[in-house]
Amino acid sequence: MDLHILEHRLRVTSLGKAGLERYTHGLIKLVFLRDKTRCKFFSLTEMPDEYTLVLDEEGFKELPQTDYLQVGEAIWLALNVVSNGHSSTSSQTIGVTKIAKSVIAPLAQHNVSVFMLSTYQTDFIMVRESDLPAVICTLSEEFNIYKEENGESIPVDCSSVTNGFIKPKNVTSPTVHPVLSPKNQFCVMSLDPDTLPTIATILMDVMFYSASLKTRSADQDLDHIRFFSFSLIDGYISIVVDTQTQKRFPSNLLLTSASSELWRMVRIGGQPLGFDECGIVAQISEALASADISAYYISTFNFDHALVPEEDIDNVITMLQKRQNGDR
């Protein structure tokens, strides 16, 4: 398989909901007015108390710098695993559990923190730009590595990148974080970007106004958590919504998998996780991979989230709770 280092240089930010009105103009531009911005990588994930925004440098310029916006210090690069020579956004997603043992676990073992974003089309593994030599050194034996430049995939001379590079010491066993599972059922969907104007009013209401109808804090009513994710990356749209919100959209415009599968969420972390700890994604994705359970994985500024098939949720929770208690 091939590993592609995408061109996008990304910022990870958190927008407090109290400051949303100052950002709606920029966010509407990024979502609906693609011809007015040079942004190619934009993702918004709504949680009960904040929005996590992952966007490239051009998109970041559209956001006013205020106290409501927390900005992670690092620049992140997006990696894609590609099989059979197909481009990442046109091929069927490899799946986070399929790359758990070949990509995520080795990076965790070599002290590389990752930030994950699964979409309807593919899985983006984000690493700090400063960790790129460690990433290449760790994965060069398993993958052909390419760096995308001006739309072309250029082979990476791994020997020159890693020459003189000393592998970091393997990390100790990561902290096993608590997990919880709200009862929402979720759908993972796509949409033809040309139909965005048709659903603009609904989408803006879902993104910016629905949560204000009934305010919930992060610690309240976790049986039904507020979670919505929208990504527009290189012209491809991915949407994650619960089934109640899905009913608001015209069904004939939404693209779903052939099985129309429903998903349940596992949220990882009782307290905000931060970006420095390694192995959080690995401990979840490896466990799911060993059980042959497919998953989408979405990291946010404070927590991580795995979406697993609804029929597997009880087994997943039991498995992860046993892991938390130190059982095998």
274-305 confidence digits (pLDDT tens):
777 777 888 888 889 889 899 999 999 999 99
pLDDT score recorded for residue 67: 96
Give every CB contact of residue 213 below 8 A, 6+ residues apart in sequence: none
The DSSP secondary structure of 86-153, one letter per residue, reads: --TTTSPP--TTTSIIIIIHHHHHTT--EEEEE-SS-EEEEEEGGGHHHHHHHHTTT-EEEEEETTEE
Vertex 260 angle, CA 254 and 264, to 5°: 105
Q: Taking the complete model, does pTM exceed 0.95, yes or no?
A: no
Mean pLDDT, residues 163-173 taken together: 56
H helix intervals, the chain: 24-32, 57-60, 105-109, 132-139, 158-162, 200-204, 243-246, 280-290, 313-324
DSSP 76: E
For residue 38, pLDDT over 80 is answered with: yes
Specify the range with the lowest mean pLDDT, choosing from 102-111, 174-183, 301-310.
174-183
Of 2, 8, 1, 55, nearest to 149 by C-alpha is 8
**pLDDT tops 60 at residue 57:** yes
For 203-255, what is each residue's pLDDT tens digit? Answer: 999 998 875 544 444 444 567 889 999 999 999 999 999 999 999 999 889 88
Model confidence at 91: pLDDT above 90: no
Secondary structure of residue 28 in the 3-state scheme: helix
Share of the chain above pLDDT 70, in %: 85
DSSP-based helix, strand, coil % in the chain, nearest 5: 30, 30, 40
Residue 17: exposed, middle, or buried by beta-carbon count in 10 A (0-12, 13-18, 19+)? middle
Between 123 and 160, the more confident residue is 123
- Asked if 96 and 114 touch (Cβ cutoff 8 Å), the reply is no
